[in-house]
Amino acid sequence: MDRRGTKRKMENVEVAEPRNKLPSPAPSMSTDPALYSGPFPFYRRPSELGCFSLDAQRQYHGDAQALRYYSPPPTNGQGPNFDLRDGYPDRYQPRDEEIREGLDHLLHWLLDHRGQLEGGPGWLAGAIVTWRGHLTKLLTTPYERQEGWQLAASRFQGTLYLSEVETPAARAQRLARPPLLRELMYMGYKFEQYMCADKPGSSPDPSGEVNTNVAFCSVLRSRLGSHPLLFSGEVDCTDPQAPSTQPPTCYVELKTSKEMHSPGQWRSFYRHKLLKWWAQSFLLGVPKVVAGFRNPEGFICSLKTFPTMEMFEYVRNDRDGWNPSVCMNFCAAFLSFAQNTVVQDDPRLVHLFSWEPGSPVTVSKHRDAPYAFLPTWPLTECTG
């Protein structure tokens, strides 16, 4: 009965909005995991094209000045005992989340390196340009039960650009974020301060300010199925002791999680948190996640390393677990859906892809504000 109701509702939408008739394929896409099982699709090993840094004022620099170096505590049989609450809120400078940056920093990098891309600007004409975080959301969609998303898509000079739009629900949640959640966010950044040094071989200095404006971003090239990808993602640190110093294989992702005490808690951790860690790290080609487990008082009591390529093993025999093939097949299918939907080359025209758990992905068309996200400065310079 529900399914009939949904179908009727969708028919009504199409009848009510004939002027917005979108080019084929149909303007919706199912996210049911069963539809995307099958062999793992081709995913080209990500190769780093370059990097950039954002400073304490969130200003762009086309270099690696914000890169930090992995420097774990000595393993002496005792837990690290890091106090993640130290410095909160006095030595905390959180980024202003009201400022919507879109793809601006990545476009800045692209503008500086457009002529040096392997395959030239012509390669870019068939590519998809976005942030790693947006692709992570796509990978986890078939298993996501709580948070929806919106992705704005525009085509310019053949390239498809994807930029996330904050959903009304996410905005309301952010503005009403309780103090405990704000403190937990701080603790994640504080953990990085305990685990990273400013220079190779030196020791971490956790006495300074935690400023979340600062970021080091890797820019990578890859291909998923038939879709060439150029994307950027924030990197926590590089490991000077890594077997290979070739990025991204020398990068390390740092995470925190609460201590687990029962098989049920671990099962839930593997099903939900590990899925997100895997998606994030796999896309970028980061080989491992180092997790710090914190007690209720906010101290890190133990560290555990999760190699990215072994994460699926924790859920392989779990009926309610996740499957990497489903994640990647869905992402590839969505990229095809977007490529076939956004056919007009016009940076002022935006196709907004919207998704809520339990529903299909839908599309609406918009022109200019508030959804247009490609700023005019790179566009004029690219065409000039």
pLDDT of 23 strictly over 60:
no
| Cβ–Cβ under 8 Å, residues 130 and 160 | no
**pLDDT for the residue numbered 237:** 98
The reported pLDDT for the residue numbered 55 is: 98
- DSSP annotation string for 82-107: EETTTTTTTTEE---TTS--TTHHHH
Dihedral sign for Cα 133, 356, 363, 138, please. positive
Does the pLDDT value for residue 121 go beyond 80?
A: no
What is d(CA 313, CA 305) in angstroms, rounded to the nearest whole number? 14
| Angular region, 213: left φ>0, alpha ψ -120 to 50, beta rest | alpha
Provide the whole-model pTM. Answer: 0.92
β-bridge pairing 210-211 and 92-93: parallel
> What domain range is 316 assigned to?
28-367
Give the max Cα distance, the chain. Answer: 69
- In the structure encoding, which two tokens stand for residue 265, read together? 């808690």
Classify residue 18: in a domain, yes or no: no
Partnered with residue 366 across adjacent β-strands are: 350
pLDDT at position 380 is 63
Q: Per-residue pLDDT averaged across 329-347, rounded?
A: 97
Q: Read off the pLDDT of residues 250-260 as tens digits, 9 standing for 90 and up.
A: 999 999 999 99
- Note the pLDDT of residue 78: 82
How many separate domains does the chain show?
Answer: 1
> Is 382 within a domain?
no
Report the pLDDT value the prediction gives residue 19, as an integer from 0 to 100. 38
Per cent of the chain over pLDDT 90 is 86
pLDDT digits (tens, 9 = 90+) for 172-231: 999 999 999 999 999 999 999 999 999 999 999 999 999 999 999 999 999 999 999 999
- Per-residue pLDDT at 118: 82
Does 23 map to a domain? no
Q: What are phi and psi of 112, to 5 degrees?
A: -70, -25
- CA distances (Å), 209 to each of 86, 206, 217, 260, in order? 10, 8, 20, 29
CB count within 10 Å of CB 25 equals 11
Distances (CA, A) of 193 to 84, 87, 220, 229, 277: 10, 11, 25, 31, 19
Q: What is the DSSP letter of 319?
A: T
The pLDDT value recorded for residue 21 is 42
pLDDT band at 289 (very low <50, low <70, confident <90, very high): very high
Q: Average pLDDT in the 96-118 region?
A: 94
Average pLDDT over residues 245-250: 97
53-75: pLDDT as tens digits: 999 999 999 999 999 999 999 98
Given a contact cutoff of 8 angstroms between Cβ atoms, the answer to whether 227 and 128 are in contact is yes
State CA 282 to chain mean position distance.
Answer: 11
Average pLDDT of the chain, as a whole number: 92
166 in a structural domain: yes
pLDDT attached to residue 9: 31
- pLDDT-derived band of residue 379, with 50, 70 and 90 as boundaries? low
Dist. CA 215–CA 222, nearest whole Å: 22
Distance (Å, rounded) from C-alpha 314 to C-alpha 324? 12
Q: Is residue 16 part of a domain?
A: no
3-state secondary structure of 106: helix
SS3 for 138? helix
pLDDT of 49 higher than 60: yes
Report the first-to-last Cα separation within the chain, whole angstroms: 57
For residue 7, being part of any structural domain is answered with no
pLDDT number for residue 376: 75
| For residue 113, pLDDT beyond 60 | yes
The residue-averaged pLDDT of 361-367 equals 96
| Residue 27 pLDDT | 83
